[in-house]
Amino acid sequence: MKRIDFEHGTITGNILGAALPMLVAQILSLLYNIVDRIYIARIPEVGTTALGAVGLCFPIIVIITAFSNLFGSGGAPLFSINRGKGDTKKAETIMNTSFSMMCICGVVLMVIGMLFASPILVLFGASEEGLSYAYPYMMIYLIGTVPSMIATGMNPFINAQGYATSGMLSVTIGAVANLILDPLFIFGLHLGIQGAAIATIISQTLSAAYVFYFLRKKSELKVRMLSKAEWKVCGADAKNIVSLGSAGFIMQLTNSLVTICCNSVLSGIGGDVYISVMTIVSSIRQMVETPIYAMNEGTSPILSYNYGAQRPKRVRKAIRVMTCMILIYTAIIWSVIIFAPEFLIGIFSSDKELLVDAVEALKLYFAAFIFMDLQYIGQTVFKSLNKKKQAIFFSLLRKVFIVVPLTYLFPYTFHMGTRGVFLAEPISNVIGGSLCFITMLAIVMPELKKMKEENYE
């Protein structure tokens, strides 16, 4: 089984070796996530309403994903840093602590979600009609909470050991299953929106089973639940994992917060049709962000490993390669969004009336998307080098302190209507992204220079 050599391989080769399988995995994961929406939007007579209802479930799904990344993205960089130092025992302890916390958290989230799904969906802006579709979808989806968290949260530990192709395969299994099962359950068995949820949890379970099998039987370091004795002494590791993972957790949680705020405002000033517009815009964003995420996550273990091994030259080069790759990709995809929005929107809906509103919304939302790259790059470096405070601060800055206030100020105070909701995003990209990147350069580059001067390679 081929592994990536983080220590001696070329930086560009390592990043491509990790990022390309991850890109394939993320594209398949994207299909895994959006194929429900594509099929749901084409359910006869109720497609547009049902699509909007699934959009109301996004915040809850994002919250579940955020918790899986709290432990996975928090643990994987620490895991890689300790591997770089040669401390494999510590690395394995960190992985097992992450896994144990993830499983317990998954059960708790499932129970809370099932008890309060209806009032939560109403709080998120569900109308009576929307709730009739969103509630059954959500209740079925919640059954797969633990498998979903294992599949998402433990996959970084496969990649962190250099098994990028196996990490890709874990996602492929679930994605292919979902592509096959969705039309079967939705249309073949006439289960509608409930069928989409059933297909999703079966697919997530298959992915989780493979991830657990690989980390238990095939990988260099083996995963398991912590024993009672280990729970008593793992407090420091758990704290470090949660502390580092908080950056990604907050970023995803604030994405959920923004979606809730947007849906609430749009429901009041634009009606259910604009909930569907926001669902489409969010789905397109998920599509175009997928390769960026793959590049970031493909670079992260390389940054962490070489930082732990005290190799500043390789860390700097990894940052440069990642930055160039992301900027080139974004320039291309941004052009497609601005000049051919109808093509992207058409993937999710053929509703002509919806298309008119969605085109304007999409162009506004992505007007300054290239600045978002700076946020991604800065956040990835902070997370990978265990810079907890900076990672958390910039996660909060862009969404909580910029987007959320503007989402309410523009439509109501400045009377910009629905346009104001979508305009808040590009403004936050310019301000938050620029500040994050500049701060990263000001903090990380001097540290790497000092590390080099201390006669490390």
DSSP labels, 268-285: HHT-HHHHHHHHHHHHHH
Strand blocks (E) in 342-417: none
Question: Alpha-carbon distance 439 to 320, whole Å?
Answer: 16
Name the DSSP class of 369. Answer: G
Name the DSSP class of 348. Answer: T
Assigned token pair, 56: 């109301």
Q: What confidence score (pLDDT) does residue 436 get?
A: 94
Q: What confidence score (pLDDT) does residue 146 get?
A: 93
The torsion angle over the Cα atoms of residues 46, 349, 417 and 429, rounded to 10 degrees, is 130
Q: What is the b/e burial string over 359-372, where b = at least 16 CB atoms within 10 angstroms of the residue's CB?
A: eebbebbbbbbbbb
pLDDT digits (tens, 9 = 90+) for 239-267: 889 888 887 787 777 777 787 788 888 87
Q: Taking each helix axis from N to C terminus, what angle separates 47-85 and 192-213, rounded to the nearest 10 degrees? A: 10
Helix locations, 41-85, DSSP H:
47-85
Q: What confidence score (pLDDT) does residue 30 get?
A: 67
376 CB neighbour count, 10 Å cutoff: 22
The rounded Cα 14 to chain-centroid distance in angstroms is 22
Q: Positive or negative CA dihedral for 332, 337, 342, 343?
A: positive
Q: What is the b/e burial string over 385-424, where b = at least 16 CB atoms within 10 angstroms of the residue's CB?
A: bbbbebbbbbbbbbbeebbbebbeebbeeeebebebbbbb
Q: What confidence score (pLDDT) does residue 7 get?
A: 64
Spans in the chain with pLDDT lower than 50: none
Backbone angles phi, psi at 72, to 5 degrees: -75, -55
- Radius of gyration for the chain, computed over Cα atoms and rounded to the nearest angstrom: 21
| CB 249 within 8 Å of CB 69 | yes
pLDDT digits (tens, 9 = 90+) for 321-332: 999 999 999 999
Question: Alpha-carbon distance 24 to 16, whole Å?
Answer: 12
Backbone angles phi, psi at 194, to 5 degrees: -65, -35
